[in-house]
Every structure is written in C-alpha cells, then in structure tokens.
Structure 1
Amino acid sequence: MRGWLRRRFDAAYERVLRREISGAPAHVAVIQDGNRRYARERGDDPSDGHHAGAETTERVLDWCADLGVAELTLYAFSTENFERPPAERERLFDLLETKLREFADAERVHEQGVRIRAIGETRRLPERVRDAIDYAERRTAGYDGFALNVALAYGGRAELLGAARDVARAVEAGDLDPADVDVAEIEERLHDDPVRDVDLIVRTGGDERTSNFLPWHANGNEAAVFFCAPYWPAFSKVDFLRAIRTYESREASWQRAKAERALALVRAFGSVEVREARDVLARLREYVPDGAEVDVETDGESRAD
C-alpha cells in the first residue's frame, strides 16, 4: 500500500513540475555518486550498486530526449577511481566495457541519433575498455541528434594542465603567438571535438561539491548546480525535473540581475542628452530579458515595464 501511494504521489508531483518547467538546459553534466553506498545499505556487493546505477543512466537518457536536452556528460570514472581496490576496479572496467558496447548497439541510440564519445585520459584505461570506447565512437560518429559524453579517467585539473602544456609547446615551436592565445585556442586543445558550455551540474548522493568536474565548461559558464540526497541508483525523474527547475530559476534570477545592472547604467546618464542616452541603451538591449521593455524619458530618466 505504501509503495502504491508513493508512486501516485510521485506521478502527481511529476505533473506539477512539468507544468512549472518551460524549457531545458542545452548541456547537463551529472556526477553519479552513491552507487557503493546504495549497495552497502542493501547488503549487496559494490558491483551490484554500479549495475543499478547503469540502469538509472539509461533512464536519464530517455528523460533528456523527452525534455529536449541536447548534450549529457556523465562522470563515469575519475582519475581518483584508479585508487580503488583492484577487484572493484576490474569489475568497474568490465561494466564500462559492457555498457559502452550495449549503448553502441542499442536501437534507441540509433533512432535518436545519439553520438557517444569519451573524454578524459583514456590511454590510462585497460585495452578492453579502450576498444569498447573506439567501438562506440565509430558506431555513432555520424550522428548529431544528441551528444553523450562519458568522462573516463577524467580529472578537470589534468584536462586544463594538458591544454596549457599544449599551448606552451606551440608557442615554443613558433607555431602560436602568445598574443593569439584566447578562449578559442584553449577550447580547441581541451577536446578533439567541441563540448558545449555546461548549463547545469547534477550531483547525487548528498555531497555538495563538484569534484573537479568540467571546470572550464561549467565554472566559466557559471553553471547552475543541483545537489540531491538520493544515491544515483535511486535518482528519479522527479529529482531530474527538480534539477531542471533549479536551472530555470537561476537563469531567471541571472537575467533579472543583468537587466538591473543595465538599467542602473542607463540611469547614470540622466544628465546626458536624451539622444546620447538612447544610444547607450541600444547597446544594452542584449542584457534585458525577453518581455521586458526599457525606455528613456525626455527628462533623462529611464523606466522599465
């Protein structure tokens, strides 16, 4: 009875959340934490928790397709994970190999045009996992409907350090002028193919930290962050929708803040001739959210409706 009531409540809450959400972030990045704790609390082996987490990953792919998310990055294996006990690490490698090949062969992956690619220091992984990565990337290389990035042997600091070293080598060789080092040059050296800026980071398992995950793409874009208590295997669609709602709320707040700053700048020109003030305002239009109207009165005062 309790389980039935819970399902009814979740279904109702899901409908409420869907009505509150008007769109979706383009790029969601997920830190899938809590697989081992989930298994431990049930008296299971850690590998059982990882298998349960893999099932959640498949559901999240469907939720992204349903909501219109264009890119998903999963933190599947960090550089710190190499420190885990050898037996557990090998079972993780087995699971990664199996799931990469399953995803590459799944009908829905091909129906939805999902492109799979790995990011990270993949050369550090066992050959069987590297072969599975190559298989998945080759099988889906021609698709552009949805981007699924799997972070394997990944560490954000190592990623930035590698890009910095690449730039230094190019400068030393005379192939790159230091004055030409810009955002585009760094991004080109982070990945073989571009990764969108991250709009939303989701972390399960109760910890409130981003664990060195996509620092360039998330911190540089001031991504919204959603922390939640459920372990990854227990992460539900309601949790996912709550994360999307957090992103939308943050975006609305950020747009309001930009509009307020723009209006403050316009008001600072109150003593300037109206024509000049209007010229300034025209250059600030990009900071005003859709639906807001800003005008400059003939006495030099501004108003927003």
Structure 2
Amino acid sequence: MSLFSWLQTQLSLLLLAVLAAGPVPRHVAFEMDGNRRYARKSGKRVEEGHTAGFYALRRVLEICMRLKVGCVTVYAFSIENFNRSPAEVDALMKLAEEKLREISRHGALLDKYGVRLNVLGNKSLLPPAVQAAVEEAEGLTRHNNKAVLNLCMPYTSRHEITTAVESVVRHGLFSDGANVSKINEQTIDDHLMTSLVGTPPLDIFIRTSGVKRLSGFMQWQCCEHTQIQMIDTYWPDFGLSDLVPILLDYQRKVWTMGRTSAKAS
C-alpha cells in the first residue's frame, strides 16, 4: 500500500469515528440501482456490472458496521427481475449463490462484524442451489448478534404486504365479523417480513442511479419519519463520499428535533 493510500484510509477511519460519535441511524435501506447502466458506461458486460455492485455492497456494509448502524436492508433482486433475459437472470442467480457462500463464511465480513443475515422475499422462486446457499448463509450467521443485514431477494413490497395480510388471516384475526376491527396498520406491520426478523423502524432510505421512485421496495416501511434520499451515483460507484452528506443531514435533523422537543417541554 502506498503512503497516499494509507493516509487516505486513515482519514476515512477518522471521519467514520467522528460520525459515529453523533446520532447514528438504527436502520438504513439501500435500493442498489444502476449496475447495468454502470456496466454500459464503463464498456463492460452486464454481469460485470452486477459483480461490481456486490463489491459496492461489501464496501458500504463495512462502512455501516464501522458506524455502528444496527440494521442494513438492501434490495438485491426484485420478483419482476425474473422477466429479464434468461442469460442475465441465470448470471444473477449464479452470482447470488457464489457471493452468499463467500460473504457468510468464517472470517468473512459478516463474521468479522457479528452480522446476522436474513434473506427476505419469495424464496421459493429461487433455484434450488440458491435456496441451499441461502439456508447455509442464514444458518452460519444465526449466532451473530451485533448487527443485521436483510437481503431482499426476490422481493417486492406488494408481495410482502400481501403475505402479511394472509398471515394475519391465518392467525385467526379475521375468522369472524367481530374480529374485523383487529385488522389495522399495526397488525399488518407486525406480520411484515422485516418485522418478523426484528428489524427496527426505517431511518434512512437511499436509492442510487438518479431514479426518483421507490419501485416496490420498503413502501410500507417508508413513513413520515424516514429520510428518503435519491442520488445520481450508480450503485457500483457508491461509497463514503456519497454517504457522508446523507449522514450529516440525518444528524442535523436529529439534533434539530431534539432542540425543538426540549423547547416544547
């Protein structure tokens, strides 16, 4: 490592330590968009863009762990993505299988920071080999209790909400007319996939690539208190320089709310 690279690393670590001394979000969600456009811009194959996206995930997750963020949720694969070309879907499934095994093995990133992995979504749609990798990865990290990574694949908010309502019905809350009033926002919220694995409320939602919509990700969880950020950077290029302004904005809002509450009391 060159002296410049060493100094750059040390400055980044110092910056993270300073940020971690202030209010830190409990839960950050990333809609990791722009892998294909990044590949086209760089003259690379689509598969290489998705691979670069995985390395960005690893880089950003490590930043979040150094900041002591308790939960990170990422949108890895939409149910609608199965409509893409068979070649791209096959490449994505192979990448998912490979990286699930890689990221959860002993000594890897999740093990290093004590991160428990949850894969959320309609997992029955995944190829058997990927389902096996999911089960193995979740099992290997089940003992970790310092932080959580929710990997949403294959996922859409509509499916998550529908599944939550179906779960409420199965649990007998809608077994007769007298119980209709028990179906409310809280009962549905309690049965969401994210709630069932103990995910805290969503503090920050970040979508990369300049697209300004939620696109079926965490639509229920994005509430009036969620800080929603849409940035132009393609996901494979996303890093600390993109995250710092977002975190500073979050901390400013937390401090402002604290002062407002203190004056009101």
Question: Partner letter of residue 104 of structure 1?
Answer: S
> Aligned equivalents of 2:178 and 2:246: distance in 1?
41
CA 14–143 in structure 1, closer or farther in 2 if over 3 Å, else same: closer
Taking structure 2 as the reference length, the TM-score comes to 0.86
> Aligned equivalents of 2:78 and 2:17: distance in 1?
33
CA 12–137 in structure 1, closer or farther in 2 if over 3 Å, else same: closer
What aligned pairs does 1:158-173 form with structure 2 within 5 A after superposition?
A: 158-169=159-170, 170-173=172-175
Which has the bigger relative contact order, CA under 8 A and spacing at least 6? 2
- 2:48 is matched with 48
- 1:95 is matched with 95
Secondary structure of 2:117's aligned partner: strand
Displacement after TM superposition at 1:14 (Å): 8.9
Which of 178, 181, 196 is matched with 1:179 structurally? Answer: 181
Displacement after TM superposition at 1:168 (Å): 3.5
CA 114–60 in structure 1, closer or farther in 2 if over 3 Å, else same: same
Q: CA offsets, 1:109-140, max 9 Å, x none?
A: 22321100111111111111111111111111
Which of 205, 216, 232 is matched with 1:212 structurally? Answer: 216
- 1:242 is matched with 245
Secondary structure of 1:209's aligned partner: coil
Displacement after TM superposition at 1:173 (Å): 3.5
Displacement after TM superposition at 1:249 (Å): 3.0
Instruction: Decide which structure has the larger Cα Rg and report it.
Output: 1
Secondary structure of 2:59's aligned partner: helix
- 1:150 is matched with 151
Q: Which deviates the most, 97-106 or 70-79?
A: 97-106
- 1:280 is matched with none
CA contact (8 A) 2:23 2:254 kept: no
RMSD of aligned residue pairs (Cα, Å):
2.9
CA contact (8 A) 1:17 1:242 kept: no
Structure 1: where are the runs of 5+ without partners? 260-287, 295-305
> Aligned equivalents of 1:172 and 1:293: distance in 2?
42
Q: CA offsets, 1:37-96, max 9 Å, x none?
A: 111111110000111111111111210111110000010001221111110011001111
CA 44–148 in structure 1, closer or farther in 2 if over 3 Å, else same: same
CA 164–231 in structure 1, closer or farther in 2 if over 3 Å, else same: same
> Aligned equivalents of 1:93 and 1:53: distance in 2?
14
> Aligned equivalents of 1:63 and 1:187: distance in 2?
29
Identity of paired residues, percent?
Answer: 31
- 2:197 is matched with 193
Taking structure 1 as the reference length, the TM-score comes to 0.75
What aligned pairs does 1:1-305 form with structure 2 within 5 A after superposition?
A: 22-107=22-107, 108-169=109-170, 170-173=172-175, 177-191=179-193, 192-219=196-223, 222-255=225-258, 259=260, 288-289=261-262, 292=263, 294=265
- 1:276 is matched with none
Question: Partner letter of residue 32 of structure 2?
Answer: Q
Displacement after TM superposition at 1:209 (Å): 1.6
> Aligned equivalents of 1:224 and 1:79: distance in 2?
25
User: Aligned residue pairs: how many?
Assistant: 258
Displacement after TM superposition at 1:228 (Å): 1.6
CA contact (8 A) 1:14 1:241 kept: no
